[in-house]
Structure 1
Amino acid sequence: MDVRSPSPNLYNEDLAPAKDRRWGPFSIFNVWTSDVHSLWGYYLAASLFLLCGSFTNFLIAIGLSSLVIFFLMNLIGYAGEKTGVPYPVLARASFGVWGANLAALVRAVVACFWYGAQTAAASGALVALLVRNDSMLAFHRDVQVLGHSGLEFACYVLVWALQLLIIQRGMETVRRFQDWAGPAVWIAMLVLAVGLVVKAGGFSFDHGIPMAVLLDKTKDAGVAGEPGSFWALMAVGATWITYFAALYLNFCDFSRYAKDKAAVRTGNLWGLPVNLIAFSLVAGVTTIAAFQVYGEVLLHPEQISAKFDSWVLAGIAALTFMVATLGINVVANFVSAAFDISNVFPRRINFKRGGYIAAAIALVLYPFAPWEGGAARFVNAIGATMGPLLGVILVDYYLVAKGNIDVPALYDENGRYRYEGGWNINALVATGVGAVFSTLLPTFTTLLPAWWGTYGWFFGVLIGGGMYWLLATLRPARSGAGFAPTA
């Protein structure tokens, strides 16, 4: 769709509606292989496996929650395919042409945190390989930089820089990279799992991990009940759903390039419930087999590969996991932050510059390493911040606007989505109320029960979306120039 005479403060070529829509189901599928098949994805799946108490419980909890993820991704994916616009531009319909900057910056900040977390995970795989050398091990132990070992710092900067090279040629390069990076890690995961099962002398669904070990490994997860209990399984499902909180918002950054709605739906079907369950299955098998072989719980695949006798096998495993983690970082974090930051200053900041700013912020965050600690706790804390935004956007798109968006008006600062000086007060109030209950109270006070934080994202979506629906009913905010809905 062509946008005629857009406002310069709202438009650049990167933010314009997508014209080249060649992404079929395979490319959409590989958005998810790149997103899921990472060291952090494995770490989270293995951590949640321990909370389930049994292999059967794990598959049930992950399977049901994966269906919820599939449903939610279709909702935002269809909006991207229909309008052809990225997340920060779509948010203008709900928050106003200027208010969308707030929604975009929240997502950008979260992307920077995740960018740092994934970069640290990828560099950790490289560290695990290099410390097999005695001189590197000595360097790792003896040299400290910014609160980390000199080797960790050097590997972090190296991986951080490699990611910038991937994005140099834009989104089509991202698509080609993810088309092979995602499947590559599947091969490494299967080789790792099969090799450990053979070494263990076979596989048993009875993992044999004592309850005392499970309790010790899950004590910092912030989950009520012992592993395998009803509330532990509820927490597993909630955390798995929350893990994708960022992409619920900006999946339209990718679905906007899809050929049609069927490509989005089919790619999501294979990339989400099917792929998620299969990946989690392999992570569970690997965790069980590693415990049987080494007598300890190893939640990070690089910890397992570090124990290989062969340098070659260890190197292949470490490099494959590192490349896969670069894939998720580019797909889930670099792309989103680039669009979000560009949206704030489109005349001065294009897609690449926005990505460079996000990468710089991730580098600054490294000394503080806010992502270190329990996987479930980090995922829920970060994800909760985005719940109210999703609630507002989905309610506005599907219930208020009925799926009809005036795309040209998204680029007109005096058009339909100007609302009150460029801000939709209804959306801001609803987001603020949702944030109080999803993030502020559970994170900074003790007024709510300890388990509340595990479900913070859900409270954010429901309270934020519900409040927006109420306000939109009591004081409709729709006003402005003539409206021509998309076909």
Structure 2
Amino acid sequence: MASTTNSGIEKRSIEMVPDAERHGTPRSQFTLWFGANTQITAIVDGALAVVFGADALWAIIGLLIGNIIGGIVMALHSAQGPQLGLPQMISSRAQFGIIGAIIPLVLVVLMYIGFASTGAVLSGQAVNLIIGVQTPWVGIVIFGALTALVALLGYKYIHVLGRISSVTGLLGFLFITYCVLTQVDVPGLISGSSFAFPAFLSAIALSVGWQLTYGPYVADYSRYLPRSTPASKTFWFTFGGSVIGSQWSMTLGALIGAAAMTESGNLFVENQVAYVGDIVGGGVFALLIFIVILLGKLTVNTLNAYGAFMCTLTILTSFGNKATIRRWTRAVFVIGIVSLTVLVALLASADFLANFKNFVLALLMVFTPWSIINLTDYYLISKDRFDIPAFYDRNGRYGAWNWRALASYGIGVVVQIPFLAQSFYTGPMVAKLGGADISWLVGIVVTFVLYYVLIRNRGVAPKETIYPTLEELERK
């Protein structure tokens, strides 16, 4: 395979993938994103909707609506990959400028570290339950080492892991679903549901936020597809894998979270992985489910580590014209990033679920404006016409800064603050809306209108996409 060394380790980093090194079919996007979403953190995300106020039925409906909305946005980012052959955040330089793109990039790196850390906490539980160790740090460190190994190997092995976790996730989640349906009074949970608008919107926001956090790196895994791949196929396979996988997981989470409610509290809150093991009957069945959980989290945490590496290098290369990175440099960055996520996981608060909810909703606030700007430019302004060599040149077509995009982004974040409803802050508009948080909807509308008005007559897109030659790529 041209895109890897003889050892199988990926060769490309933040530069464009040449046509000769493209391979695969869009079906691979389905298995990758299905596997990435049939995992314990998605179950926890679904349970959050119930733990923090929604009844089971309306939580599931709200999560479905949010997954569809967020999945559309996420898949639209994925469709950019085959056309440009670039990591997602490199293309943000077309909107924000070479230096200006650092601002959303820093937030993306923080997102990767946050999600990877929460994943390490949950995976550490699974590892400890598998090997019979009580000390929390042991499982977290072992899981971190596995994550670093796969991330260092790169694209090819990430997809292999995605296919494996898709199969194991399918079998494991079928069994968990069977146990939930036979051991939990699902009709009773559903029939006893009452509608609460603020909690319903919160459920939508949780799943929208879940999907949107894939946006900054989803194209990193579709960029190896041949340039002739129809955008519609990339979109639908990505959308299907992500939405089906996440909705299934979140539905289980909502039912498990509702079933775990007792007069003294919620049993799921105490140890999420162990509680799932109890549902499937303990013993060997629990052991197999812990392995399924571990493989699913390994897939998504590898995506986080790989994406954080891409973004960190994009930040550092913004100050020069370099487009390629030595493999040993890549190894240092990946190991450093994974080590940081392990450290954060080890220092994680005991109030895991509440902090995780705040984390997801905070990400929704900062990434909604970025997604809207990127998609508006790609589909409505530049219309898939880019000067790819200029992505690596501060003096090129896109310049160092684009104040119009940065202003649109900043205002798109700030206007959401009065509408936020979180444990650490409640905006003044929330009470007037009956406690509902509509901040992300406000962010979408304001960012789109402002960016489109400021940029529509000032586009710098070429008449057709300019691609670098293979010689230029190797010379960088």
- Give TM-score scaled by structure 2 length: 0.80
Q: Is 1:173 equivalent to 2:157 in the alignment? A: yes
The alignment-based identity, stated in percent, is 17
Q: Distance in 2 between matches of 1:357 and 1:438?
A: 34
| Alignment counterpart, residue 406 of structure 2, candidates 421, 425, 428 | 428
Partner of 2:141: 157
Kept in 2: contact 1:61–1:233 (CA 8 A): yes
Q: Distance in 2 between matches of 1:59 and 1:364?
A: 34
Deviates more, 1:190-199 or 1:110-119: 190-199
| Alignment counterpart, residue 381 of structure 1, candidates 347, 355, 362 | 362
Kept in 1: contact 2:76–2:235 (CA 8 A): no
Partner of 1:121: 122
Partner of 2:221: 254
Over the aligned positions, Cα root-mean-square deviation in angstroms equals 3.3
Cα deviations by residue, 1:168-191 (Å, 9 ceiling, x for unpaired): 221111111111113312212221
Cα deviations by residue, 1:453-480 (Å, 9 ceiling, x for unpaired): 9444443333333322232258x3639x
| Alignment counterpart, residue 339 of structure 1, candidates 288, 310, 314 | 310
Kept in 1: contact 2:98–2:394 (CA 8 A): yes
Cα deviations by residue, 1:356-383 (Å, 9 ceiling, x for unpaired): 3322332332354268232433310233
Partner of 2:471: none
Kept in 1: contact 2:98–2:398 (CA 8 A): yes
Q: Structure 1 315/96 Cα, relative in aligned 2: closer, same or farther at 3 Å?
A: same
Kept in 1: contact 2:34–2:241 (CA 8 A): yes
Equivalences for 1:171-250 in 2 at 5 Å? 171-199=155-183, 204-207=186-189, 228-250=195-217
**What is the identity, as a one-letter code, of the residue corresponding to 2:197?**
F
Q: Structure 1 265/309 Cα, relative in aligned 2: closer, same or farther at 3 Å?
A: closer
**What is the identity, as a one-letter code, of the residue corresponding to 2:248?**
A
Kept in 1: contact 2:390–2:396 (CA 8 A): yes
Q: Structure 1 41/357 Cα, relative in aligned 2: closer, same or farther at 3 Å?
A: same
Partner of 1:467: 450
Q: Structure 1 285/181 Cα, relative in aligned 2: closer, same or farther at 3 Å?
A: same
Kept in 2: contact 1:426–1:472 (CA 8 A): yes
Partner secondary structure for residue 92 of structure 2: helix
Deviation, structure 1 residue 290: 6.5
Deviates more, 1:346-355 or 1:117-126: 346-355
| Alignment counterpart, residue 300 of structure 2, candidates 316, 320, 328 | 328
Partner secondary structure for residue 344 of structure 1: helix
| Alignment counterpart, residue 478 of structure 1, candidates 460, 469, 473 | 460
Q: Distance in 1 between matches of 2:33 and 2:411?
A: 32
Q: Distance in 1 between matches of 2:180 and 2:211?
A: 29
Deviation, structure 1 residue 102: 2.4
Kept in 2: contact 1:182–1:327 (CA 8 A): no
Q: Distance in 1 between matches of 2:196 and 2:418?
A: 28
Q: Structure 1 486/52 Cα, relative in aligned 2: closer, same or farther at 3 Å?
A: farther
Deviation, structure 1 residue 351: 4.3
Partner of 1:23: 24
Partner secondary structure for residue 417 of structure 1: coil
Partner of 1:264: 234
Q: Structure 1 266/441 Cα, relative in aligned 2: closer, same or farther at 3 Å?
A: closer
**What is the identity, as a one-letter code, of the residue corresponding to 2:299?**
G
Deviation, structure 1 residue 235: 2.1
Deviation, structure 1 residue 390: 1.6
Q: Structure 1 208/96 Cα, relative in aligned 2: closer, same or farther at 3 Å?
A: closer
Kept in 1: contact 2:418–2:426 (CA 8 A): no
Kept in 1: contact 2:40–2:297 (CA 8 A): yes
Deviation, structure 1 residue 116: 0.7
| Alignment counterpart, residue 363 of structure 1, candidates 342, 347, 350 | 342
Equivalences for 1:68-107 in 2 at 5 Å? 68-107=69-108
Deviation, structure 1 residue 484: 4.0
Return 5+ residue gaps in structure 1 as ranges. 1-11, 141-150, 212-226
Partner secondary structure for residue 204 of structure 2: helix
Kept in 1: contact 2:417–2:439 (CA 8 A): yes
Kept in 1: contact 2:43–2:252 (CA 8 A): no
Partner of 1:3: none
**What is the identity, as a one-letter code, of the residue corresponding to 1:305?**
G
Q: Distance in 2 between matches of 1:366 and 1:392?
A: 32
Q: Structure 1 453/390 Cα, relative in aligned 2: closer, same or farther at 3 Å?
A: farther
Partner of 1:354: 333
Q: Structure 1 470/206 Cα, relative in aligned 2: closer, same or farther at 3 Å?
A: same
Deviation, structure 1 residue 237: 1.3
Cα deviations by residue, 1:209-229 (Å, 9 ceiling, x for unpaired): 988xxxxxxxxxxxxxxx632
Deviates more, 1:182-191 or 1:110-119: 182-191
Deviates more, 1:84-93 or 1:61-70: 61-70
Partner of 1:145: none
Q: Distance in 1 between matches of 2:266 and 2:456?
A: 56
**What is the identity, as a one-letter code, of the residue corresponding to 1:72?**
V
Deviation, structure 1 residue 448: 3.1
Q: Structure 1 27/163 Cα, relative in aligned 2: closer, same or farther at 3 Å?
A: same
Q: Distance in 2 between matches of 1:279 and 1:113?
A: 20
Deviation, structure 1 residue 29: 0.8
Q: Is 1:407 equivalent to 2:397 in the alignment? A: no
Cα deviations by residue, 1:16-64 (Å, 9 ceiling, x for unpaired): 2123332323310123223311211001112325644243x34432333
Kept in 2: contact 1:337–1:354 (CA 8 A): no
Q: Distance in 1 between matches of 2:406 and 2:266?
A: 49
Q: Distance in 1 between matches of 2:415 and 2:122?
A: 31
Q: Distance in 2 between matches of 1:90 and 1:38?
A: 29
Partner of 1:274: 244
Q: Distance in 1 between matches of 2:154 and 2:70?
A: 27
Return 5+ residue gaps in structure 2 as ranges. 1-10, 468-476
Deviation, structure 1 residue 344: 2.1
Q: Distance in 2 between matches of 1:319 and 1:94?
A: 42
Q: Distance in 2 between matches of 1:351 and 1:392?
A: 29
| Alignment counterpart, residue 395 of structure 1, candidates 367, 372, 376 | 376
Q: Distance in 2 between matches of 1:31 and 1:352?
A: 23
| Alignment counterpart, residue 448 of structure 1, candidates 428, 431, 453 | 428
| Alignment counterpart, residue 352 of structure 2, candidates 364, 368, 372 | 372
**What is the identity, as a one-letter code, of the residue corresponding to 2:200?**
L
**What is the identity, as a one-letter code, of the residue corresponding to 1:459?**
V
Q: Structure 1 286/106 Cα, relative in aligned 2: closer, same or farther at 3 Å?
A: closer
Deviation, structure 1 residue 13: 3.8
Deviation, structure 1 residue 91: 0.7
